[in-house]
Amino acid sequence: MAEVNPISEKNKVWPVFKRLLKYIAPLKGILFIAVLGLITYGIVDALFIAFLKPFIDEGFDTGKPSVTDELMQNAGMADAGIDVLGIAPFVVIGMFIVRGVANFVSNYSLAYVSNQIILKMRQEVFEHYLKLPVSYVDQQNAGTLISRVTYDTEQIARASGNALIVIVRDSVSILAYLGWMFYLSWQLTLSILVVAPLIGIVITVVSRRFRKVSVQIQSAMGDVTVATEQMVKGHKNVLIFGGQKEEAERFAEVNDRNRSRNMKLALTHSISQPVIMIIGSLALALVLAAANIDSFKADLTAGAFASMIAAMLAMLQPIKNLSNVNAEFQRGIAACATVFALLDTKTEEDKGQYQVARVKGDIVFDKVDFRYPNAPDLALKQFDVEIKAGTTLALVGRSGSGKSTVTNLITRFYDQLESGEIRIDGVNVNDFKLKNLRSQIALVSQQVSLFNDTIANNIAYACDGNVTREQIEAAAEAAHAMEFIKDLPNGLDTEVGENGVLLSGGQRQRIAIARAILRDAPILILDEATSALDTESERAIQDALETLQTNRTSIMVAHRLSTIEKADRILVVDKGRVIESGDHQSLLAQKGNYYQLHQLQFGNE
Ligand code: ADP
């Protein structure tokens, strides 16, 4: 699996961020409100600290004149009559109300913005999946593809929302604290600032490490999902083959890898915070020491000093937040880059222009060489066959011989031939408009996918809406599906459950056949279509299929030879080549591979 890791190149951050901004741009009004809320919040926090000074100097006035009088004058509070201690409770309540409102406004509007971004990205990724070529989806595992939609999109919004909160709110408070400190004593503040670069260095080192680990964790999380999903899907197999121990051990490994990465993250996290705190305390120590120097002491009232210390202490948390914000931001960008890389993967190629309402159904494989992407061997070698419109071709052969590949190429699930051409009615399949090509084909495959909906809707899935209830019923009837449907509690309106779990294999297959009947396409592909049927329903289905096949070109992939005896032509395929060709009787008469297969299956009858 090709894990995307674009963040390993540092200079990719900016373009990714710019692209993210495009998602944010339409929401800038609300974002602006959020930012206003955050700024207000940051300022109120700082004002609270600043209020300490008049509170101490005026409230507990010792008679000594101080610089605060000037400030109070400016703030209009200075008249001799004002009782600072008396108004303090109201100031505190007022401030907290403003802070609370600001908090609500910013949180709520940020949540709105985040959720809009998640909504949009999820939809885009999901719709992108719908356009991806089979070759891409084959190479990815489902867990990863799912977590792109569920986990990564959420990471982006959460991380960038948190980053914004910290960047705006905490920077505003830090600036306000610093301004206040400069106002109180610029000399003292300047000396504190000497320590700032040290903090900066630690922040950079720590966040760089953090970024690397965070990307690793992202992929490790995926592993846990993938491993669990595989087990859940193969649950029956695990039980029957007694694979519990192996599965548990395999999972233990993945689980432990995940734990160890999380611990690495925790370690970086745990180290970074105390280190920054200790460095911060150096600044505090410096002030305490400096305050003892006489020239500084002269400037400072008790209130100013208390307020200064309080501002410094209050600043530690925002600084700490800011030091983590890079990691948070990087986490968002990493998730973002993964999602964008996915959105940039090539969708199915559709350069064809040819369109036709209904093909006749002549299909030609003209000396086709085909190799699956990254596969060492050709899956089809000089595959050459002509299927006349309205006839039935059956493909038999060992598993892995290339039968399904033939169907994968007609449907253009894979479109890169190494050489040769596939034509329908004389037109290269790659020249068709993709949608038009596929509309000519009905596919009944071994794995029937049913959607979590009613039986009627599952049958109607084959057509774009315009079918009547009668048509659905007729199709179900023709597919011998009505036989079991009418015994169900709600008939055609019975819900089939997730992926049709409430139905048996044979019942599901009959629904798939009904679907194909309803679709009424000129080309029919039956990939092991009758594999899940018992002999009883097989006979019934056989009739249904024969009706379905009249006037259509059909290609049947079959293991059970009994189902294909009536085919107009049978190809025996081996290692991607046609090794025998003819109808049932003539192939038997040849006494070659087909004869042997037949002997194997029917020898004892
Ligand atoms: P059959 O349908 O006869 O069982 P297939 O047509 O599925 O065989 O496979 C033909 C060959 O191509 C096999 O060797 C198989 O391993 C290989 N193959 C099938 N699907 C893929 C794929 N998606 N990627 C790579 N190789 C594949």
**pLDDT tens profile 131-146:** 999 888 888 888 888 9
Alpha-carbon gap, residue 35 to 41, rounded angstroms = 10
Report whether pLDDT(172) > 80.
yes
- Residue 388: the pLDDT is 92
**Among 365, 372, 374, 578, residue to substitute to test ligand 1 (most atoms within 8 Å of Cβ):** 372
The tokens of 11 are what? 């200079």
Give the model confidence (pLDDT) of 329-379 as tens digits: 888 888 899 999 999 998 888 888 999 999 999 999 999 999 998 889 999
CA of 227 to the centre of ligand 1 (A): 24
Is the CB–ligand 1 distance for residue 379 below 6 Å?
yes
Whole-number Å distance, alpha carbon 576 to ligand 1 midpoint, is 9
Nearest residue CA, atom 25 of ligand 1?
372
Strongest mean pLDDT among 241-255, 442-456, 539-553 = 241-255
Q: Is the pLDDT of residue 423 over 90?
A: yes
Tens of pLDDT, residues 195-238: 666 666 766 676 676 667 666 666 666 678 888 888 888 888 88
Centre of ligand 1 to C-alpha 400, Å, is 5
Separation of alpha carbons 350 and 133, rounded Å: 11
Mean pLDDT across the chain: 83
In this structure, the residue with its CA closest to atom 12 of ligand 1 is 379
Q: Which atom of ligand 1 is closest in space to residue 398's alpha carbon?
A: 3
Question: Residue 464 CB: number of other CB atoms within 10 A?
Answer: 8
Closest residue by CA, ligand 1 atom 13: 400
Global pTM? 0.73
Of all protein residues, the one whose alpha carbon is nearest to atom 14 of ligand 1 is 400
Cα 20 off chain centre by: 16
Given a cut of 90, whether residue 113 has pLDDT beyond it is yes
CA of 370 from ligand 1 middle (Å) equals: 11
- Cα dihedral value 66, 71, 72, 74, nearest 10: 140
Whether the pLDDT of residue 528 is over 60: the answer is: yes
CATH 3.40.50.300 in the chain is located at 359-440+525-533+554-605, 446-520
Per-residue pLDDT band for 1 (boundaries 50, 70, 90) equals very low
Closest ligand 1 atom, residue 408 Cα: 6
> Could you tell me which CATH class the domain 446-520 is placed in?
alpha beta
Q: How many CB atoms lie within 10 A of CB 22?
A: 8
pLDDT at residue number 3: 41
% the chain with pLDDT above 70 = 86
The CA 405 to ligand 1 mean position distance, Å, reads 6
**27: enclosing H helix or E strand:** none
When comparing pLDDT for 449 and 28, which is higher? 28
pLDDT range class, residue 481, cuts 50, 70, 90: confident
Mean pLDDT of 399-416: 91
Residue 75 reports pLDDT greater than 60: no
Mutate to test the pocket of ligand 1, among 404, 409, 416, 575 (most ligand atoms within 8 A of CB): 404
Nearest CA to ligand 1 atom 6: 402
Tens of pLDDT along 13-42? Answer: 888 889 999 999 999 999 999 999 999 999
Handedness of CA 156, 162, 164, 166 (dihedral sign): negative
Q: Whose CA is nearest to atom 15 of ligand 1?
A: 400
Q: Is the pLDDT of residue 2 over 50?
A: no
Q: What per-residue confidence (pLDDT) applies to 7?
A: 44
| 455: amino acid identity, one letter | I
Of the residues 405, 526, 559, which should be mutated to test ligand 1's pocket, given the most ligand atoms within 8 Å of the CB?
405
- CB-ligand 1 contact for 402 (6 Å cutoff): yes
Band (pLDDT 50/70/90 cuts) for residue 95 is: very high
Homologous superfamily of the 9-343 domain (CATH):
ABC transporter type 1, transmembrane domain (1.20.1560.10)
What b/e readout covers 270-286, taking b as 16+ CB neighbours within 10 angstroms?
A: eebeebbeebbeebeeb
d(CA 460, CA 448): 14
The phi and psi torsions of 383 (rounded to 5 degrees) equal -75, 120
Q: Is the pLDDT of residue 282 over 90?
A: no
Q: Is the CB of 408 under 6 A from ligand 1?
A: no
Regarding the beta carbon of 376 and ligand 1, being less than 6 Å apart is answered no
pLDDT(497) > 80:
no
Kindly give the number of the ligand 1 atom that is closest to the alpha carbon of 135. Answer: 23
Mean pLDDT of all residues in 495-523: 82
Distance 371 CA to ligand 1 centre (A): 9
138 C-beta closer than 6 A to ligand 1:
yes
Integer angstrom CA distances of residue 487 from 83, 220, 498, 590: 86, 48, 20, 47
| Residue 534 reports pLDDT greater than 50 | yes
Token pair in block for residue 586: 């003539």
Query: Considering Cα of 527, then 528, then 534, then 537, what sign does the dihedral take?
Result: positive
pLDDT higher for 426 or 602? 426
pLDDT of residue 363: 95
Domain with residues 359-440+525-533+554-605, CATH architecture: 3-Layer(aba) Sandwich (3.40)
Does residue 401 have its Cβ closer than 6 Å to ligand 1? yes
Atom of ligand 1 nearest to the CA of 557: 2
| Ligand 1 pocket, residue 374 CB under 6 Å | no
- DSSP letters, 522-587, are SEEEEESTTTT--HHHHHHHHHHHHHHHTTSEEEEE-S-GGGGTT-SEEEEEETTEEEEEE-HHHH
* pLDDT for the residue 366: 94
Residue 321 Cβ inside 6 Å of ligand 1? The answer reads no
